[in-house]
Amino acid sequence: MPGRNPLPTVDVLIEVGDRIVLVRRKHPPDGWAIPGGFVETGETVETAGIREAFEETGLRVTLTALLGVYSDPARDPRHHTISTVFVGRAEGAPLGGDDAAEARLFGEGGLPSPIAFDHARILADYFRYKKTGEKPI
């Protein structure tokens, strides 16, 4: 798409105890996703991550780490996006809100299907990071 810039997005891997929160998308593309969304004008990626996490899960998140930046032009079938992906911590039970039809806690061994966007890759990077401390590049 000449002349059109990628859109900035943010995703937050929300840890609650030893599990993470995923949301079932209310709108296409269908599937389960890491809570997140578009960065609004005037917002930092950190502020956008905290806001999106709250809007989609009802959880107040404290960001704890930057996992990485994901920019594959094919990562979102709707348009080219660049996502800054954080790890965060929260307490309580997630409730689906905003663009999320449902929000639930999952462990590595029981992830739902299908996973939307490139979030299967991000989840694999996250679980590797938690085991080894190695971040993707």
Q: Cα separations (Å) of 122 from 11, 86, 87, 97, 134?
A: 10, 10, 11, 22, 13
pLDDT at 1: 43
What's the rounded Cα separation, in Å, for the pair 60 and 1? 37
**CATH class, 7-132 region:** alpha beta
Active site residues: 102
- What pTM did the predictor assign? 0.93
Beta bridge partners of 32: 24, 115
pLDDT tens, the chain, 137 aa long:
456 899 999 999 999 999 999 999 988 889 999 999 999 999 999 999 999 999 999 999 999 999 999 999 999 988 999 999 999 999 999 998 877 889 999 999 999 999 999 999 999 999 999 999 998 87
Contact 55, 98 (CB under 8 A): yes
